[in-house]
Amino acid sequence: ERLAATPLAHVMSRLFCGGNSGHASSQERRGKVTLHVYDAGGSQFIRGVNSMLRPFGMGAFHCGVEVHGLEWSFSDTSDFDDTEVSGIFFVTPTLADGHRHLESMCLGYTDLSSSEVLNVIDRLDMHWRGESYDVLERNCCHFCSVLCRQLGVDGVPDWVLCLPAKAAMLQHGLRGLRKHRQQLLEVTAAACVGHCCEEEIRGVEVIHVDTDEVAPSAQAATAKRIVQL
């Protein structure tokens, strides 16, 4: 039976209800850590995109980390009324809802017991609220990478993280261009209305204007016309 995505507050009671409170042996404590990778969304379109991008070492993926029989991941909860809902959840391994399982890979073995893993999840929960989810810079793959470091195993492969990383770089670049464009607009507007000249440009006579007498709205309109030219 598949486990539904569950708020973290219910995880402890569900896992330890009727559980053994005794100390586990060193062999029982050691757990295999497996990364499960999915086509994000599982649609035919995404499958096609991933099949084309995979040879280039990238794609649109969902992933989860399995340890001690549960697969942990992170999701967006911005649609919830409660902004304090955890973004961390668990499912039955390889059965993440809404995604098509692609492949699994062993990342090593952790020396943490089940209860110690839950303590790690509890600490991460303070910093991984669902409302902080960002598809490019703070998604399920980034969470899995952090969790793997906490478990002391290999990290998430670069090809899983490559596409969102490149998209984030592009996004930052575009933001920088917009910022510089706005700065150029402001400088150009100030230079235009602040200097005096009496020459004709494209048949328009430009005369000296005192900027102190020009309303901000008029300066903005002038700057807009300059950019259009």
pLDDT, tens digit, for every residue of 80-90? 666 667 899 99
The residue whose two tokens read 């490019």 is: 136
The answer, yes or no, to whether residue 10 has pLDDT greater than 80, is: no
What gap in Å lies between CA 74 and CA 64, rounded to an integer? 8
What gap in Å lies between CA 209 and CA 229, rounded to an integer? 20
pLDDT, tens digit, for every residue of 149-202? 999 999 999 999 887 555 545 444 455 555 555 655 555 555 555 555 545 445
Long-range contacts of 166-169 (CB under 8 A, 24+ apart): 166/58, 167/136, 168/136, 168/137
What gap in Å lies between CA 21 and CA 16, rounded to an integer? 8
What gap in Å lies between CA 98 and CA 191, rounded to an integer? 56
Q: Is the dihedral of CA 208, 213, 219, 222 positive or negative?
A: negative
Long-range contacts of 53-57 (CB under 8 A, 24+ apart): 53/163, 54/159, 57/158, 57/159, 57/162
The two tokens of residue 117 are 């893993």
